[in-house]
Amino acid sequence: MTDISLGRSGSLPSRDRGMDPRVVGVAALLLLGGAVWLSGAVSGRQAALYLLGGALGLTLYHALFGFTSSFRVFIADRRGAGIRAQMVMLALACALFFPALAAGDLFGQPVTGLVAPVGVSVVFGAFLFGVGMQLGGGCASGTLYTAGGGNTRMLVTLFFFIVGSVVGAAHLHWWSALPAIAPVSLVKTMGALPALILNLAVFAAIAGATVVLERKRHGALRPSNQTPHRGWHRFVQGPWPLIWGAVALAILNFATLALAGRPWGITSAFVLWGAKPLDALGFDVASWPYFQPAERAASLRDSVFMDVTSVMDFGIILGALLAAGLAGRFAPVWRVPARSLAAAVVGGLMLGYGARLAYGCNIGAYFSGIASGSLHGWVWLVAALIGNIAGTRLRPLFGLEVERTPRETAC
């Protein structure tokens, strides 16, 4: 999630601005036109993944679903609705993913999970990413979709996210040489059903703990994403109930697995976006150990439109733009306080560098990692949560709010 507020009270503004047809028209044209072009220039599958990214961006924006403020309000005030929604998302994703990963194919398409080593690099990288979430004001998915939704501060975070990703890729070989254990897939070591039962039990325990702690402090659970909209109007303009977002994200990630052969990821594209200009300027980026695997070497040579992650990221930005237009909330503010701007720079660098060291972000390592049965996803969560605690305490130094109750924010 990012720091996009809908109103001072944490709900929609009292006067509904209505749909912005200009923004909706531009976003729809770019999404549909881009899909037609990709279908001819690359493949129908690439076009479908682009539109899938658009659906993810719209879902993230309309459900105000994310990670950063969910962690922050729980750390600061024990409000746990966002974390409980994450557990629902993960539970459904594991139920969908584990049988397919155990079988090795899905609808005839070979599939593989995002399973990574566990070591010093992951622990430090996830901690750094957690701090960066709170200073930068968002996670990987949140940075993309709130930038697309009109948050100009997040454009700064995104730029330095890319810079940090490139530096992290340049250093990754050194970090990878530090102590670590080989990748562990719970699906392969335990079997799909025992691994699913174990994960569901942990999700239930985490959700239950947030209920107990929230009720202990406040006496009752607080509903989230309040709006006067109902039915179809709410679906089009939002905000959606968090549970809608949790279910939609799990299903859309499963669709990514079916189309791409692997789960949803975000930040590998950031390395590419930063490395290509350096390569064009004469830097010997291709010699970095990070780009030695054949697939990465090819991505550096080819157009970014050949890269699945890049195409989906573009879709996320435009899907969020479409959602902002539908909700009538696309209204960029170009003046950003100096301390907040500094936090965006520092936070963006931490996000990018941390994501490379940890083999992914809140999507690739946490969401898709746990959905893949990877032990590294759970280690990422613990280390990133500790980083979020540190980052939450650092926010006031940069003039950033630490809200005591959940406001309706995008990340």
Q: For residue 338, what pLDDT is reported?
A: 92
Taking only the tens place, the pLDDT of each residue in 248-261 is: 999 999 999 999 99
Amino acid at 321: L
What integer is the mean pLDDT of 361-379?
Answer: 97
Nearest Cα to 198, choosing from 375, 16, 77?
375
Helices (H), 137-262: 140-148, 152-176, 186-190, 192-218, 231-237, 242-260
Compute the distance between CA of residue 48 and CA of residue 393 in angstroms, rounded to an integer: 42
pTM for the model stands at: 0.92
Cα separation values, 87 from 44, 83, 205, 395, Å? 33, 6, 10, 26
**What's the mean per-residue pLDDT of the chain?**
90
β-pairing verdict for 109-110 and 118-119:
unpaired
Answer whether 369's CB lies under 8 Å from 114's CB. yes
pLDDT at 213 over 90: yes
CA nearest to 72, candidates 126, 142, 122, 131: 131
Average pLDDT for 316-340 = 88
Q: Please, which pLDDT band fits residue 229 given cuts at 50, 70 and 90? A: low
